[in-house]
Chains A and B, each alone.
Chain A
Amino acid sequence: MSVNEQFQPTIVAFCCNWCSYAGADLSGTNRLQYPANVKIIRIPCSCRLNPMFILRAFQKGADGVILCGCHPGDCHYTTGNYYARRRMTLLFSMLDFMGIERGRTRVEWVSAAEGAKFAATMNEFVDTITKLGPNRRLEDLRCRKE
């Protein structure tokens, strides 16, 4: 067994209160399984996600961060996710520019009716991060346990 197979990543999922959070709920009530590595943080809108939150998550030991929000056009506040989309695009591009692995951050649009998509997305994302291995390029050494 290789090291990577033993490695259990920590994933932080920022979920919009109005869609993805309910989507996660739906995948639960449907008995769809997704890994326990995913820690969900509820936010009022995908637009609420300050870039600092993502960096903080990495600082505190996350290996991957995913943002789930309403599909463009379906925002509870009409336009929030359009702004989030631009911001995240630029932020991810910058993280890439600084040499942070591209796969560690992601944005996925998941509606309240897409419980299956939520579970599938999380399974796939945990898989990707497990393959990437622990986050070493954007971590706070003081937070490391060993």
Chain B
Amino acid sequence: MQKRIKEKALELLNTGVVDRVLGWKIGEFFYDLTPAVFETAEEVEENFVYSGFSGANLSKYLIAQSRAGGKVAVFLKPCDSYSFQQLLKEHRILRENVYVVGISCDGMLDIEKIRAAGCDGVIAVKENVDSLEVETLYDKKTLNRNDCLLERCLVCKSKKVVVFDEMIGENGEEQETARFEMVAKLEAMSPEDRFEFWRGELSRCIRCNACRNVCPACSCEKCVFDNDKSGLRNKAAADDFEENLFHLIRAFHVAGRCTDCGECSRVCPQNIPLHLLNRKYIKDINELYGEYQAGADMETKSPLTNFTFEDCEPSIIHERGGV
């Protein structure tokens, strides 16, 4: 896959179809792949990397890149393409300046899971179809690939690239998965237990803002958390209220626009399962206002910018079953 993608990047640059390529390069470590812009064929040859660690969603960078002059090529995995289409729908990306190469995806790897499987000091990971050959400082291990996937890939909602100019590999289909399982499990708990659960998770938050910065939906030019006068500007949370408030507002701002790409949880340095908050909104929207998948098409109105006369009353929350 890496070879085909790299060749495509070179071809697009050499034939002058695009002026830049948006892809991934190695960051601090080999498993720490960072989005990068490549302007010349030499740069691509030298630094372009695609592997199981290319989890980063590139669509957000196109907001700036599509306005930077010239044409830019981008590689989008199926889940990234939903974010891309959602941003197109919101008129954030100039489509004519972007050449989208869709790539099929077998799920991305989670270095934390590889570490948890007893691999300390990982220096190389070789990917096979079903297995991973992990080379550490001390020995070599073979792991099952499916055990090391990111949480979002285990419950992948779609293998379909929804918008592309060209595909590498086979385009897949949407699929039914148990992605709301954990949300349903939490809903079944008592309010006290839920409160304890979220305190346990959110109290780890260090307010690094990575979840906000990486989120394709969270790309307002002015953010309430950057406003000096709001009293909420970028700073460590002073107490548990602020932790709650930040995450409540962050999730609410992307409600109805979140495509469930799972980037927030992937980048969280404290491993807070932030996607659960977004999924709760998606689940509620599906149940109360009808099935909706953000970014799946260009026409449907987002549930929060829409209404019907027959909508349920907010009191439904107090009246519904459960504890």
Residues of A within 8 A of B (CB): 51-52, 55, 58-59, 72-73, 79, 82-83, 85-103, 106-107, 137-142
Give every chain A residue within 8 A of B318 (Cβ-Cβ). Answer: 92, 102-103, 106
B97 interface residue per 8 A CB criterion: no
Question: What residues on B are CB-neighbors of A95 within 8 Å?
Answer: 248
CB closest chain-B residue, reference A99:
B195
Interface size class of B (residues with CB under 8 A): 35 or more
Task: For A102, give the chain B residue with the smallest CB separation.
Answer: B318
Partner of B195, one of A59, A98, A141: A98
Identify which of A55, A89, A97 contacts B312 (C-beta below 8 A). Answer: A89
Residues of B whose CB lies within 8 Å of any CB of A are: 183, 186-187, 191-198, 224, 238-242, 244-245, 248-249, 251-252, 255, 277, 280-281, 284-285, 288-289, 303-309, 311-318
Listed A/B pairs (29) with beta-carbon separation below 8 Å? A51-B248, A52-B249, A58-B241, A82-B311, A85-B307, A86-B306, A86-B307, A86-B311, A89-B288, A89-B313, A93-B280, A94-B251, A94-B252, A94-B277, A96-B191, A98-B244, A99-B192, A99-B193, A99-B194, A99-B195, A99-B196, A99-B197, A107-B314, A107-B315, A137-B195, A140-B242, A141-B241, A142-B238, A142-B239
**Complex Cα distance A141/B307, Å?**
38
- Write out the residue numbers on chain A whose beta carbons fall within 8 Å of the beta carbon of B312: 89
- Nearest CB of A to B97, in Å: 33
Closest to A136 in B: B195
Which chain A residues border B289 with CB–CB below 8 Å? 86
Complex CA gap A93/B186 in Å reads 13
Task: Please give, as numbers and ranges, the residues of chain A lying within 8 Å of B280 by CB-CB distance.
Answer: 93-94, 97
Q: Does B252 contact A51, Cβ atoms closer than 8 Å?
A: yes
In whole angstroms, what is the CA distance A52 to B227 when docked? 14
A89 to B255, CA, bound (A): 12
When chains A and B are docked, how far (Å) is the Cα of A86 from the Cα of B186? 22
Chain A interface main SS type: helix
A93 touching B194, Cβ below 8 Å: no
Provide the residues of chain B in CB contact with A96, threshold 8 Å.
191, 317
A91 to B281, CA, bound (A): 9
Extra contacts besides A82-B309, A87-B304, A99-B195 (15): CB < 8 Å? A51-B252, A58-B241, A85-B314, A86-B303, A89-B312, A89-B314, A90-B284, A90-B285, A92-B314, A94-B281, A97-B187, A97-B194, A103-B318, A138-B241, A141-B241
Considering the complex of A and B, which 8 residue pairs feature the smallest CB-CB distances, nearest first? A99-B195, A82-B307, A99-B194, A107-B314, A140-B241, A92-B317, A89-B314, A88-B314
For B315, the chain A residues whose CB sits under 8 A away are 106-107
* Closest chain A residue, CB of each to CB of B197: A99
CA of A85 to CA of B316 in the docked complex: distance in angstroms?
Answer: 11
Count chain B CB atoms within 10 A of each CB in A51, A52, A58, A86 and give the residue with the most. A86
Give A89 Cβ to nearest chain B Cβ, in Å: 4
Q: Is the CB of B194 within 8 A of A51?
A: no
| CB <8 Å contact, A86 and B195 | no
Q: Please state if B239 and A89 are interface contacts (CB–CB under 8 Å).
A: no
Which residue of chain B has its CB nearest to the CB of A83?
A: B307
Q: Are B239 and A83 in contact (CB under 8 A)?
A: no
Give the chain B neighbours of A140 by CB distance below 8 A.
Answer: 239, 241-242
Question: Closest residue of chain A to B256, judged by CB?
Answer: A90
| Cβ contacts under 8 Å, A94 to chain B | 248, 251-252, 277, 280-281, 284
